[in-house]
Chain A
């Protein structure tokens, strides 16, 4: 079909923006950085709107982790007596629980990040990575807030106040956030063509928590377990990350694999997430139509 007469090419000197070409990774990341306020406002708007109709409002940011910690303390600390002589079981459980909740939130919100913003994707042109990024920001803010009740409880119950060891919190949060971002990117784009993933994410998060040293320390429980299983659980990304958190929050000695394990997982998953998301990104609007 020949183009209609009124579509003959016209010489036009002004610089054109080509919408059909894809940006390189560099320009993409610059565009993403320019949209950082958008990601932040999306995250905060999401958190605010979830509590907008409650009486206690933003107090829930603090109450939610407290109630969660209370439930787990009751079930595992008191009823099942998982503490096995650990004098500071409360600190151990809460540090693991709050840190794991960060990963679980980003994974769950990441699964909805793209699919629940279909109208935004249909009408606005922006780097889609903003959406899973805002899911991570939401989880990070909630986690940072939950550190306040953690220090209050751990401090009063066992004297675990912040000290020099708390500096380890910085690399721990950086590795953890990189890991979560990679996870969120992967889940957000893969759930669009394979909606079935959205149904499994919650179950995966639950089994993952029980296979991680959240409620019980792996080393003690694994004394009688096969060597290969012990190895596998050590390579669990959350094992290293939680190890770093316990160094930072409870001043427990960290093992070498805590450091290299969490660094490798953080870097690897982030790179993988960025690559997969970039490949999937231009296909997303087709699936959402």
Chain B
């Protein structure tokens, strides 16, 4: 028997001990000797009392279990009611003209009826064997990561996307970036260049120097070599790496590396910037600098779409929030209102959220 398997009677320990106790009271020679003076009636009484106590205990446990069940059912009901209320509120908020940018705001990105489905069996863990099986299992149900999402994103606005894990936020962002083709729907970008998606370290090579990484990252992002030449000094200065720029990136701290990749992405002044969970980069000073740069970008009629779990930060920075749940867009609008709905859906109070 391996050491980590529990003994077979582990679950039945209390009754066994009880039986042992009873056996000791009746049959053990020493106990019998000590109990010699006691009468048989008293022994019987004690046994009855013990049995009665046991029954009482079991009854109480049954009642407690039933009570807990009812409580859970009530909680689920309340949750469903809250969700329904939140959805209703969301519909109203979406219709609320105050939650929208001015009607004449120019469009940045228009997404129409986007749907993305993943077939987990055949596509997530592909191999020859699974493809052979796939032919037999066509009926397998796909996972709908993005479910009929339509969204207008305007120039000069910061849009935050919130939602639980697996709600389809990152998938939506990748569709907006044009790196993941959607199954249905269209994305139209009102800009000369496709949106820039920033995720830390994509296209960078840790074994190369910071200098080479700036070229590699910039070229990966679609810049031409002379464009990178022109903005090279600016990127180095912005990243604050100084002399370290000629050292291999493997010697950088994670904060330094993050600053370098952020600098490459932001100093090209993208018109539409998509951020996936990379809002907080580097130390406090760099964080301040980066959020100032992002505000400049917005003032310059740029657009920022960001996905984050840090609700507090999104609520402060974004002009509108979009809330996604299991692939669907639940609400878009006023950050305070949408954040409140999201928290209500989670069953959390604002104070609980602030603790995070």
Contacts and interface: CB of A to CB of B under 8 A. Distances in A.
Interface in A229-264: none
Contact of B208 (A15, A37, A49, A194): A49
Contacts of B194: 17, 19, 125
Interface string A24-63: 0000000000110110011001101110110000000000
A194 B126 contact: yes
Contacts of B118: 286, 289
B248 interface: yes
Nearest to A192: B126
Contact of A123 (B99, B185, B192, B202): B202
B106 interface: yes
Given A6-B94, A18-B187, A123-B202, A41 B222 contact: no
Interface residues of B, number: 65
Contact of B205 (A19, A49, A124): A49
Nearest to A46: B205
Between B91, B94, B126, the greatest number of chain A beta carbons within 10 A of the residue's beta carbon is seen for: B126
Contacts of A126: 220, 222
A120 interface: yes
A52 B206 CA distance: 10
A14 B94 contact: no
A20 B225 CA distance: 28
Given A6-B333, A19-B188, A41 B107 contact: no
A285 interface: yes
B63 interface: no
A195 interface: yes
Contacts of B192: 17
B185 A20 contact: yes
A192 B192 CA distance: 32
A31 to B, nearest CB: 9
A124 B216 contact: no
A77 B113 CA distance: 67
A3 interface: yes
B123 interface: yes
B181 interface: yes
B179 A285 contact: yes
Nearest to B111: A7
B326 interface: no
A286 to B, nearest CB: 5
Contacts of B180: 122, 285-286, 289
A43 to B, nearest CB: 11
Given A19-B189, A120-B202, A123-B202, A1 B148 contact: yes
Cβ-closest 9 pairs across A and B: A49-B207, A19-B178, A38-B219, A3-B150, A19-B187, A16-B188, A17-B189, A123-B202, A7-B150
25 contacts: A1-B148, A3-B150, A6-B100, A7-B151, A10-B110, A12-B106, A16-B188, A17-B188, A17-B189, A18-B189, A20-B187, A35-B222, A45-B208, A45-B212, A48-B207, A48-B208, A50-B207, A52-B208, A52-B248, A119-B203, A121-B179, A124-B202, A194-B131, A286-B180, A289-B118
Interface of B: 91, 94-95, 99-100, 106-107, 110, 112-113, 118, 123-124, 126-129, 131, 148, 150-152, 174-182, 185-194, 197-199, 201-203, 205-208, 212, 215-216, 219-222, 224-225, 248, 276, 329, 332-333
Interface of A: 1, 3-7, 9-10, 12, 14-20, 34-35, 37-38, 41-42, 45-46, 48-50, 52-53, 117, 119-126, 192-196, 282, 285-287, 289
